[in-house]
Amino acid sequence: MKLNLKVWRQENKDAKGKFENYIVDDIHGDMSFLEMMDVLNNQLVQEGIEPVEFDHDCREGICGMCSMQINGEPHGPDRRITTCQLHMRKFKDGDTITIEPFRANAFPVVKDLAVDRSAFDRIQHAGGYISVNTSGNTQDANSIPIEKENADMAFNAATCIGCGACVAACKNASAMLFTSAKVSQYALLPQGKVEATERVLNMVAQMDKEGFGNCTNTGACEIECPKGISLENIARLNREYLAASLKG
């Protein structure tokens, strides 16, 4: 199939960007969206034009590196996938596809479609861990039985790949789903309870400092999340936060 691409080009963080139009041909339905971008880029290189910069790495939907707002949605129109898992069979011959970077002040553009998501890292530095040293004589793993239901919920929260689709989809550019997933994982495990109060206060403080918007419960994040992280996590974050605030 033949496609018209409307791609955001921006030299660097401070430059002003704009849309450019490109045409790619001979695209097959079995190709992934990023393979289509590879075709475009090789075409551009041969024409002597600088290719479109975009983040990608594992190309199997787990590293969370690929981003892109495709036709107005993070990771494109399909559900429960990342851009690298989006296949061209979702598009038709002659379609125009609008491709933009994830937009949020907390995610400044690095170049073209690549954005800087280090704000997520900083939120995790603020408390996304359990303080345990590597000593080799930690207690036996089975000495802490964990209810399967909680273990499974903790796991589901922990599957967040930190791609930023929640922020990109949210009309407020809020990072609540991401932050709540991290807080939830630890809140649901006995190992994480010890530092729970400080963790949630610090992570929320950092989240606010990064300039993300507020949660208005539109639920867009949950729908667009490639891993289906549930809004229940946001409710849990709110609970944890309230409890922690009252405790001081």
Residues between 23 and 82 that touch another protein (CB under 8 A): 28-32, 34-35, 38-39, 41-42, 44-46, 48-51, 53, 55-65, 69, 71-73, 77-78, 80-81
- Residue 4 near another protein by CB under 8 A: no
- Residue 219 near another protein by CB under 8 A: yes
Q: How far is the CB of 23 from another protein (least distance, A)?
A: 17
Q: How far is the CB of 248 from another protein (least distance, A)?
A: 13
The residue count for binding another protein (CB under 8 A) is: 132
Query: Binder to another protein among 5, 111, 177, 178 (CB under 8 A)?
Result: 111
Please list every residue from 167 through 206 that binds another protein, using CB under 8 A: 169, 171-174, 176, 185-186, 189, 191-192, 204-205
* Per-residue H/E/C for the chain: CCEEEEEEECCCCCCCCEEEEEEECCCCCCCEHHHHHHHHHHHHHHCCCCCCCCCCCCCCCCCCCCCCEECCEECCCCCCCCHHHCEHHHCCCCCEEEEECCCCCCCCEEECCEECCHHHHHHHHCCCCCCCCCCCCCCCHHHCCCCHHHHHHHHHHHCCCCCCHHHHHCCCCECHHHHHHHHHHHHCCHHHHCCHHHHHHHHHHHHHHCCCECCCCCCHHHHHCCCCCCCHHHHHHHHHHHHHHHHC
Please list every residue from 143 through 162 that binds another protein, using CB under 8 A: 144-148, 151-152, 154-155, 158-159, 161-162
Query: Binder to another protein among 2, 23, 92, 118 (CB under 8 A)?
Result: 118
